[in-house]
A and B are shown apart, each in its own frame.
Chain A
């Protein structure tokens, strides 16, 4: 079975700082990769996803992620964070074969100070 590791559990930044959240997965085959975000008091929602093509994908609110197949990684980046980016961020993987069941990482709590 696949697994997802998010190494940064808690990140605290000041506004305008750059952000990179790590995500590594373990699965030998083709995968589809996702980042979800949960703002305080809201439901989980899609930030961006990769399933084929350009390994650099852009999402909402200036976020982007790069799929590096050789490193089994899908790190999330934003060049300049805002206070409104304070949220929980979850990485997820769905294999392209088999049951198509998603596996989520533990999540990273991001706090951005104004």
Chain B
């Protein structure tokens, strides 16, 4: 069973609001990721981190930002939400090395009205 948690699970907010999606893992994994997924579509990597104070943008352009101040915590922030940000956001983590399993949280469904 994976120990990676996301909050909130579901959120409806108004355009222009600031929102932070929380993600925490208790497995001591150094690598963490944020994916965006629309229903029936592929997972798009928007941010990743190799460890504390390391963050990188992924393949999908995103107006969000992330931080990695602690190993276990990798929050994602939208400074000004827009309807185009409506999607599911998946947080994941893994140990270093390409053959290691990636563990996913349950996802945060964001609707911007």
Asked if A22 is at the interface of the complex by the 8 Å CB criterion, the answer is no
Expressed in whole angstroms, the Cα–Cα distance for A92 and B98 within the complex equals 11
Q: Is the CB of A9 within 8 A of B98?
A: no
The total of chain B residues at the interface (CB under 8 A) is: 24
Q: Is the CB of B98 within 8 A of A104?
A: no
Stretch from B66-74, B79-87, B104-112 contacting the other chain: B104-112
Shortest distance from the beta carbon of B3 to any chain A beta carbon, whole Å: 11
Chain A residues within CB distance 8 Å of chain B: 1, 4, 9, 32, 34, 36, 42-46, 49, 51-52, 90, 92, 94-96, 100-107, 109
Which of A1, A4, A49, A95 is most buried by chain B, counting CB atoms within 10 A of its CB? A49
The answer to whether residues A43 and B104 also contact, given A32-B98, A94-B98, A100-B98 and a CB cut-off of 8 A, is yes
Q: Is the CB of A43 within 8 A of B99?
A: no
Shortest distance from the beta carbon of A97 to any chain B beta carbon, whole Å: 8
| A-B CB contacts (within 8 Å), total count | 58
Shortest distance from the beta carbon of A59 to any chain B beta carbon, whole Å: 12
Shortest distance from the beta carbon of B9 to any chain A beta carbon, whole Å: 11
Which residue of the partner chain B has the closest CB to A94? B98
Which of A1, A51, A104 is most buried by chain B, counting CB atoms within 10 A of its CB? A104
Given A92-B102, A103-B59, 10 additional A-B pairs, CB 8 A: A1-B59, A9-B40, A43-B106, A46-B102, A94-B98, A100-B31, A100-B97, A101-B45, A101-B58, A106-B40
Expressed in whole angstroms, the Cα–Cα distance for A110 and B107 within the complex equals 20
Q: Is the CB of A95 within 8 A of B98?
A: yes
Asked if B28 is at the interface of the complex by the 8 Å CB criterion, the answer is no
Q: Is the CB of B98 within 8 A of A106?
A: no
